[in-house]
Structure 1
């Protein structure tokens, strides 16, 4: 059976297989009440289209390195997600779920290096998809069902948002606005502060010093509201920390260097 390249699979995906009307004619999608793949996942990739919604609930930061990407933090420590219980159920009804999570187990991928066309693929190890009696069919009479068409449309929209995000990050890099981030949190009864590093944030000082032409450009292309959405969201790190404390998921602080 033809399969998509297996190297460097994205977060969550254990394998990747192109969806086929022949091989998967009997496959159905079941609605799940849990998401076990989210347990312990503390940082989720997001698109710039989501900044306004994400910043109300989750801190937005950027990864380190030459090609940073925006992340929504669902926990401050590796292996901690304060919004997902051990069985994979969400602990909040009003929680915004990033599109990266909602597209799983599907994604658009190139089936061969250098291929121009993207094909709808899925993770065959995922729960809720397979040849079963329950669920909504992915194919009907050899053709994609309404469910599959909707999935494809969502994934195409996600790819378009991903392209806009890549352009946003290129502009951000060109303006040299990112700097190493650090959050220090003190708590009663603990002598050493809790210090979180390993991410990037927008440098507010550099942002305020942009030239008039640069400001006009980022205002015109829609970057400015996104930058402030990110900056406003940083204060939520303390809320995430508080949730971890309540759950007993905060490791002992390390001495400040």
Structure 2
């Protein structure tokens, strides 16, 4: 069991209660509540603390908040308590404190107990009680005191979605054992968290407690559904010690590739000439459509990309990067052993005579590592966009009715109306992170679907 100490852990909320002395009624009429609310609003605005839920009751003030610094909570409580004591004593002609003592607090394990504590606090008073955070969290009304916790924000991409999800949590079957645990932890000032969380806390006091869950090792990377790589094998300094590589002058190896994966930072450049879309499925990716069902229209008969910018996915050929089965964090270099770029008679050597990597290989490793990092970022962005619910399925077809022929399907695009319906804080966050710029480039690129037809027509003629 955790010790009875005040614990600060960065980004972790605290469940706090401040009780009156000998159950003194500290809120005797509506003006008392309103005055305390004004003091509370002022104190929150001046403090490094974000309040997620609260309730004012005749004998106590209880809330959940995330302090942004180690002394933020104590300074907040001192200021709040002192100001209200001054008001209360003056109004009711008394002297001395009105509080039982120092506030009680309990560090909360967010992932498991954040919503449990929020609901616990907001169920203390009747739903019609005016001085409670329930009106914003459950009904979506304005409250300048509150700041949404990140987990609450993740309930949805619009305020309406968040209220609906939180309503389900709030109105779900009451877990009396969980409520008793939350109450007991606050009273004893122990940690509201799992045993593992508490044990870890005791070992690493003051250090972030977030750890990544161990999952199954990643499978070796495969180029599924793409014909660019013919025979991927692990680069071996013994097996490939005589191998040389020639410059990448032709992209003919990708002539049969109908869509090419893109990085988020490539959308604007590639999308200036070709439509950039999201793949369908549970794990959407950014991709550029370069075919209407047959050959790659972005590569001409000489094997050249027809615009100035070549996607990095093609530029990394004939190399690739993969995780090992034994250690997902360990990367290995793969090569397309059947690539015409490799030779034993001409080109740049892959390995030096002593078996060490050549500058050519080191350059390839640097490029692959950078690509892998950017692809992880891109996949996270695509996942976030998909989770927001703003993607819709599309297809490219010709003709109508019985004569309709689908040329390309299995892709998604952003629905502009759904995009505009997202909450302001989500849109603002996306603007700051550059996601909106990427989405704008994606939407603008869709006009290039017609360009594919024009390229195809020119080649046929």
1:242 and 1:170 map into 2 onto residues whose CA distance is 33
Q: Which moved more, 1:147-156 or 1:95-104?
A: 95-104
Instruction: Tell me what 1:203 maps to.
Output: 415
The offset of 1:210, in angstroms, is: 1.5
- Which structure has more helix as a fraction of its residues? 2
The CA distance in 2 between the partners of 1:228 and 1:49, in whole Å, is 13
How many residues are paired up? Answer: 237
What is residue 253 of structure 1 aligned with on the other side?
A: none
Relative to structure 2, which stretch is displaced further, 149-158 or 194-203? 194-203
Match of residue 239, structure 1, among 409, 434, 451: 451
Q: Which residue pairs with 1:65 in the alignment?
A: 281
Within 2, Cα distance between the matches of 1:135 and 1:27? 9
**In 2, are the aligned partners of 1:9 and 1:15 still within 8 Å (CA)?**
no
| Alignment check: 8 A CA contact 2:221 2:321 kept | no
Q: In 2, distance between residues paired with 1:55 and 1:9? A: 23
Q: TM-score, normalised by structure 2?
A: 0.48
| 2:221/2:322 contact within 8 Å kept | no
The answer on whether the counterparts of 1:61 and 1:70 sit within 8 Å (CA) in structure 2 is yes
Q: Which residue does 1:121 correspond to in 2? A: 334
1:83 Cα offset (Å): 2.6
Contact 2:273 2:448 in 1 (8 A): yes
Secondary structure of 2:260's partner?
A: strand
Distance in 2, matches of 1:96 and 1:54, equals 7
Selected match of 1:44 from 260, 265, 279: 260
Between the aligned partners of 1:62 and 1:158, the Cα distance in structure 2 is 19
Aligned-residue offset at 1:133: 2.3
* CA–CA distance in structure 1, aligned partners of residues 424 and 385 of structure 2: 16
Q: Distance in 1 between matches of 2:271 and 2:221?
A: 32
C-alpha distance in structure 2 between counterparts of 1:85 and 1:39, whole Å: 9
In the other structure, the counterpart of 1:168 is: 381
Deviations 1:216-255 (A, max 9, x none): 1111221100000100000011011111122239xxxxxx
Q: Does the 8 Å contact 1:57/1:95 carry over to 2?
A: no
Unaligned runs of 5+ in 2: 1-218
Alignment partners' CA distance in 2, 1:7 and 1:121: 10
Q: 1:124 & 1:6 partners in 2: Cα distance? A: 17
The Cα of 1:40 is off from its aligned counterpart by 2.5
Change (3 A) 1:89 1:115: same
Greater relative contact order (Cα 8 A, min sep 6): structure 1 or 2? 1
**Does the 8 Å contact 1:6/1:16 carry over to 2?**
no
1:230 aligned onto 2:442 = yes
Equivalent position SS for 2:283: coil
Conserved 8 A contact 2:261-2:288: yes
CA distance in 2, matches of 1:115, 1:63: 25
Normalised to the residue count of structure 1, the TM-score between the two structures is 0.83
CA contact (8 A) 2:232 2:336 kept: yes
Q: Which has the larger radius of gyration?
A: 2
Q: CA-to-partner distance for each residue in 1:26-64, whole Å, 9 max, x for gaps?
A: 111112432332113221111112112111121101111
SS of the equivalent of 1:181 reads: strand
Residue of structure 2 equivalent to 1:252:
none
1:137 to 341, 346, 349: 349
Relative to structure 1, the CA distance from residue 167 to residue 115 in structure 2 (aligned partners, 3 Å threshold; closer, same or farther) is: closer
1:74-118 deviation per Cα after TM superposition (whole angstroms, max 9, x unaligned)? 1222x32113245x61263x3421111111111111233553201
1:221 corresponds in structure 2 to 433
